[in-house]
Amino acid sequence: MNKNEFLEEIKNIYTVIGALGGKPGKKVLRCRHKKLGRDIIIKLLSDDVPVCRFLCGIKHENLPEIYDVYELDDGFAVIEEYINGMNVGEIIKTGLYGCADARTVIRGVCSALSVLHENGFVHRDIKPENVIISDDGAVKLIDFDACRTYSEDKKTDTQILGTIGYAPPEQYGVSQSDGRSDIYAVGVLLNVMLTGRHPSEKLAAGKAGRIITKCTQINPDKRYQSAAALIRAL
């Protein structure tokens, strides 16, 4: 079965509400179950995303639920939870975060990252648009397209991916990314939530600024060494 045949097949169960954007090699659709009235996301991908297979069936308050992963003749299809809410990028357009609310969001992101890191995955694309605050207030880390598996045998990443400004130096071929690469991006995210700026332009004041500075050290050995350590610092 190819992607087009898969879409025709699922139309017996779901109504396609619309597209949610996409990138080369990726199509994202919001669909609604015809009988249950429940919305889901269907992602049609050119490449396999092993982290989605790992997350399939796992329920965690800070991660979207992955319902199924299908291998097709011309790619893969991932069916996952649709999250009603706003991403952090949309929220900060209406006003910056205070320290207490920012801490809550970052703790949720770190909680999600702990699950990934403890199982050998690196997200590699932490940014405001990939953190959704659901209508019921839950913090959800989404979009695993750039996610990779850490390997002790590799010196650098196979693909250079990530968002400029949030990705640390190692994601540009300096060395292999690991969990500490996500810590760097979380530090940038926290600073943007508090100041609206990259920490190189304007650093948050007080303890938050000190935490951000440690997160964004050029040398990964000088950053927090785990998401759990960052949660304790917060």
Catalytic-residue membership of 125? yes
User: Looking at 47, 48, 74, 125, which residue is catalytic?
Assistant: 125
Three-state secondary structure string covering the chain: CCHHHHHHHHCCCEEEEEECCCCCCEEEEEEEECCCCCEEEEEEECCCCHHHHHHECCCCCCCCCEEEEEEECCEEEEEEECCCEEEHHHHCCCCCCCHHHHHHHHHHHHHHHHHHHHCCEECCCCCHHHEEEECCCCEEECCCCCCEECCCCCCCCCCCCCCCCCCCHHHHCCCCCCHHHHHHHHHHHHHHHHHCCCCCCCCCCHHHHHHHHHHCCCCHHHCCCCHHHHHHHC
Q: Closest Cα partner for 225 from 110, 139, 147?
A: 110
Q: Is the sign of the CA dihedral 100, 212, 190, 94 positive or negative?
A: positive
Active-site residue list? 125
